[in-house]
Amino acid sequence: MKAMDTVLTPIHRAGWPFIASFAVASLILFAVWGPLGWLGLLATAWCVYFFRDPTRVTPLRDGLVVSPADGVVQMIEMAAPPPELEMGPEPRLRISVFLNVFNVHVNRVPIGGRVGKCVYRPGRFLNAALDKASEDNERQAIRIDMEGGRSLAMTQIAGLVARRIVCTLREGDTVETGVRLGLIRFGSRCDVYLDDSMVPLVAVGMHMIGGETVIADVAATEAARRGAVR
């Protein structure tokens, strides 16, 4: 970790055009009427905050699956992976992480391997908290093929406010656990479809740190974890 990263949080490069636009608009608003300029400055500061890209420390033991995003575990349920990933119709355990507009929106690779499929599908912009958002909303679906024949899927899902998914992965890429793969702008959701051999190590309502929080472990022998609000 760079020493400067503990003082100033880096900004994702995809955010700079937005920050610049907000800043220019603020200058224009100041010229029109001072109070409007201050509102524009506040919006610019929020834009800087939204596109922050903090350094994360990823656990590196083989078989660990980390959360692809900051946010709250909203659902853990059985669901068929996106058909475009060619993983068959059989349901898999799906962990859904919901991101609000205040979460870090940079997404990360949940487990290392080879990108077997990476498919964008246009769709609607329903509230990402709804279950049907997984099927109906705009999404970027990714299949990661691991050693031993296992595979894991994740999707970046646009939400009610989100209107743009950015994904830097390409089919055939070899990726490491926790590396950045893109972001979703302004509120969204990430789904992870586990391999049949995996059980979730998180519970609904838990807060995730993208690239750090372990959500499953290939080597785990315990039952799925439960949680209690305290």
Residue 2 has pLDDT above 90, yes or no: no
9 and 73 co-located in one domain:
no
Which of 196, 30, 185, 193 minimizes the C-alpha distance to 110? 193
> Among 87-96, 117-126, 210-219, whose mean pLDDT is lowest?
117-126
Instruction: Give yes or no for residue 129 having a pLDDT over 90.
Output: no
- Counted domains in the chain: 2
In this structure, the answer to whether residues 42 and 72 fall within a common structural domain is no
Q: Are residues 11 and 115 in the same domain?
A: no
Question: Ramachandran region of residue 211, left (φ > 0), alpha (ψ -120 to 50) or beta?
Answer: left
pLDDT band per the 50, 70, 90 thresholds, residue 20: very high
Q: Which residues pair with 214 in a beta bridge?
A: 66
> In 10 A of CB 191, how many CB atoms?
24
Q: For the CA atoms of 95, 101, 103, 108, what is the dihedral angle to 10 degrees?
A: 60
Query: Quick one: average pLDDT of 99-104?
Result: 90
% of the chain at pLDDT higher than 70: 91
Domain that holds residue 131: 64-217
- 32-66 pLDDT, tens per residue? 998 999 999 999 999 899 899 999 999 999 999 99
Are residue 104 and residue 157 in the same domain, yes or no?
yes
For the annotated catalytic residues, the residue numbers are 188
Which pLDDT score, from 0 to 100, does residue 197 have? 84
Instruction: Please report whether residue 225 resides in a domain.
Output: no
Q: Are residues 108 and 209 in the same domain?
A: yes
User: Do 43 and 137 belong to one domain?
Assistant: no
Whether residue 1 has pLDDT greater than 80: no
Q: What is the pLDDT of residue 9?
A: 86
For residue 109, give the nearest of 33, 169, 186 by alpha carbon.
169
Q: Is residue 180 part of a domain?
A: yes
Q: Tell me, what CATH number does 150's domain have?
A: 2.70.70
Binned at pLDDT 50, 70 and 90, residue 222 comes out as confident
Please give the Cα distance from 160 to 64 (Å, whole number).
31
pLDDT at 224: 83
Region 12-26: what's the mean pLDDT?
A: 92
Each residue of 142-181: pLDDT tens digit? 999 998 889 999 999 987 665 588 999 999 999 999 999 9
